[in-house]
Chains A and B, each alone.
Chain A
Amino acid sequence: MASSLLWASRVASRLRISVSQRGFSSVVLKDLKYADSHEWVKIDGNKATFGITDHAQDHLGDVVYVELPDLGRPVSQGESFGAVESVKATSDINSPVSGTVVEVNEKLTESPGLVNTSPYEEGWIIKVELSDAGEAKNLMDSDKYSKFCEEEDVKH
């Protein structure tokens, strides 16, 4: 837990955002938005960067493969655009907002484990050009997402 917070603090400092310290062990970064399928999104003007959250990577286990979409592919809020493979399972990655893929993280092809070790920084998955910036209002802020994760973990 302490090392996770130290890592998160370093990440937050580089991204110039603040860290939320919560009771449960996953790291949640403030100033990002979150989908209930455990993807995060950082919006910068009309571009957005996505990845999966620390909560998701922790529950999935070691990621051994990331299926990335093609450049130029349209993505829609809530729909799958790729998958991660870990511990005998493939898990869909769903798009938190709609847009067009303009960049994919090629490093994940050789180093899929970056999704585990650095889910909010080096483990980013794709960047899109937004088609509807207003969709972000459908997403959770860090406090709501933290609560969502706590409730999910308590149920099981």
Chain B
Amino acid sequence: MSVNRAKNLGLPLMNLVRLKGAPILEQLHLEERLLRTSSDNWCIVNDGTNVPTIVMGMSGKPSQLLELGPVIQDRIPVIKRFTGRGTVIVDKSTMFVSLICNKDDVPNVQPYPRSVMAWSGSLYGEVFKDYVFGDRKFGGNAQSIIRNRWIHHTSFLWDYNVRNMAYLKLPSRVPQYRLERDHTDFVCRMKDYIERSDFVEKTVKAVGNQFTLKQVNLEDIDSYAKGEHLKSTRLLTLKELEEAMAGTTHNA
């Protein structure tokens, strides 16, 4: 028996799906489907998404989070996703890593937000241990926790277009770590610190230290995820955005 095979014995299995340029709405639909209808663990890596898209959390209010005039004028798609708060604008320079786990396969992690984030912080700590980003942010994450499973997904700013940041308002509830910085002082570009391929390979390796990874093609997903499920992720309609803007104008 080889050392590697012996090492992998006892590690839970995780299916790895690698995408490139997949639309973020499709990625989120896939994640919600796998979270709710599969019993496997999953790692989904999407290298960029096809068009600039705004993604809000479950309770996100467009009038509070977005500069609706430019968003509507420029026809920027706006998605409300199934995981918690945090608004991002993503595009081809954003990299996505999503981890879906059965709570019993990660026994040192309680199915609660802080515990999941502590675990993921430790995992990404392995990826970025040789890099110093100061107090700037280069990614955002969110979670959804269902009965015995949870998802933790992250969007990493490999690069970003400053113009796109202008579609987002500064949040009214500002976390302490943000201080009063605007977007460009608060975030940084990962490409200034790490090679794109290095990031992906180090991430897959870090996940592989805790799970035995098995590559799965997108075309084969149907055999892993069957049945109906609650679908919370959706694209907001133009009418909804216009009504949100009218509500804001009226209240002003």
Listed stretches A4-12, A80-88, A113-121, A137-145; interface member = A80-88
Which residue of B is nearest A59, CB measured? B112
Known: A67-B58, A85-B84, A88-B117. A152 touches B143 (CB 8 A): no
Q: How far is the CB of A108 from chain B (nearest CB, A)?
A: 12
B113 with A61: CB separation less than 8 A: yes
Most buried by A among B86, B112, B115: B112
Complex partner residue of B84 from A78, A86, A152, CB under 8 angstroms = A86
A65 with B58: CB separation less than 8 A: yes
Q: Is A21 an interface residue (CB 8 A)?
A: no
Most buried by A among B107, B113, B144: B113
Which residue of A is nearest B144, CB measured? A90
Report Cα–Cα, A78/B86, bound state, in Å.
29
Could you tell me which residues of chain B, from 68 to 123, have a CB within 8 Å of some CB in chain A? 82-86, 107-110, 112-117
Complex partner residue of B109 from A80, A87, A156, CB under 8 angstroms = A156
Q: Is A104 an interface residue (CB 8 A)?
A: no
Which residue of A is nearest B143, CB measured? A89
Which residue of A is nearest B107, CB measured? A155
Q: Is A91 an interface residue (CB 8 A)?
A: yes
Report Cα–Cα, A87/B58, bound state, in Å.
12
Report Cα–Cα, A88/B57, bound state, in Å.
8
Q: Is B146 an interface residue (CB 8 A)?
A: yes
Q: How far is the CB of B65 from chain A (nearest CB, A)?
A: 13
Q: Is A37 an interface residue (CB 8 A)?
A: yes
Known: A65-B59, A67-B58, A155-B107. A89 touches B147 (CB 8 A): no
B114 with A59: CB separation less than 8 A: yes
Q: How far is the CB of A95 from chain B (nearest CB, A)?
A: 11
Q: How many residues of A contact B (CB 8 A)?
A: 23
List the A side residues contacting B144 at CB < 8 Å: 89-91
List the B side residues contacting A65 at CB < 8 Å: 58-59, 85
Q: Is B142 an interface residue (CB 8 A)?
A: yes
Q: Is B141 an interface residue (CB 8 A)?
A: yes
List the B side residues contacting A103 at CB < 8 Å: none
B114 with A87: CB separation less than 8 A: yes
Instruction: Say what secondary structure dominates the interface of chain B.
Output: loop
Known: A89-B144, A89-B145, A94-B147. A60 touches B113 (CB 8 A): yes
Q: Is A101 an interface residue (CB 8 A)?
A: no
Report Cα–Cα, A101/B130, bound state, in Å.
53
Complex partner residue of A88 from B107, B108, B143, B230, CB under 8 angstroms = B143
Complex partner residue of A61 from B83, B114, B146, B147, CB under 8 angstroms = B114
B84 with A88: CB separation less than 8 A: yes
Which residue of B is nearest A155, CB measured? B107
A156 with B108: CB separation less than 8 A: yes
A90 with B147: CB separation less than 8 A: no
Could you tell me which residues of chain A, from 35 to 68, have a CB within 8 Å of some CB in chain B? 37, 59-61, 64-65, 67
List the A side residues contacting B108 at CB < 8 Å: 156
Complex partner residue of A87 from B82, B84, B147, B230, CB under 8 angstroms = B84
Q: Is A31 an interface residue (CB 8 A)?
A: no
List the B side residues contacting A152 at CB < 8 Å: 110
Q: Is A92 an interface residue (CB 8 A)?
A: yes
Which residue of B is nearest A37, CB measured? B147
Apart from A65-B58, A88-B142, A89-B142, 4 more pairs, CB < 8 Å? A64-B59, A87-B117, A92-B145, A92-B147
Provide a sorted-by-A list of 14 A–B residue pairs whose CB atoms are within 8 angstroms: A59-B110, A64-B59, A85-B59, A85-B85, A87-B113, A88-B57, A88-B113, A88-B117, A89-B142, A90-B57, A156-B107, A156-B108, A156-B109, A156-B115
Please name the 9 residue pairs, one residue from A and one from B, whose CB atoms are nearest each other, closest first. A65-B59, A89-B143, A89-B113, A59-B112, A88-B84, A87-B113, A89-B84, A91-B145, A92-B146
